[in-house]
Amino acid sequence: MREHVPHLDGVVHSIGFAPQSVMGGNFMSGEWDDVSTAVHISSYSLKALAQAALPLMAKGSSIVGLTFDGRFAWPVYDWMGVAKAAMEAVNRYLARDLGQHGIRANLVSAGPIKTTAAKHIPGFEQMEGVWADRAPLGWDSSATEPTARTVTALLSDWFPATTGEMIHVDGGVHAMGQ
Could you report the average pLDDT of every consecutive run of 10 residues in the chain (178 residues)?
Answer: 83 94 93 98 98 97 95 89 97 98 97 73 69 88 93 97 97 84
The string of DSSP letters for the chain reads: -TTT-S-EEEEEE------GGGSSS-TTT--HHHHHHHHIIIIIHHHHHHHHHGGGEEEEEEEEEEE--TTS--TTTHHHHHHHHHHHHHHHHHHHHHHTTT-EEEEEEE-----TTGGGSTTHHHHHHHHHHH-TT---TT--HHHHHHHHHHHSTT-TT--S-EEEESTTGGG---
pLDDT of residue 167: 98
pLDDT of residue 65: 98
pLDDT of residue 120: 66
pLDDT of residue 139: 86
Active site residue 47: no
In CATH, the architecture of 8-175 is 3-Layer(aba) Sandwich (3.40)
Choice among 44, 84, 93, 119 that is catalytic: 84
Choice among 44, 47, 59, 77 that is catalytic: 77
pLDDT of residue 160: 96
Active site residue 59: no
- This prediction has a pTM of 0.92
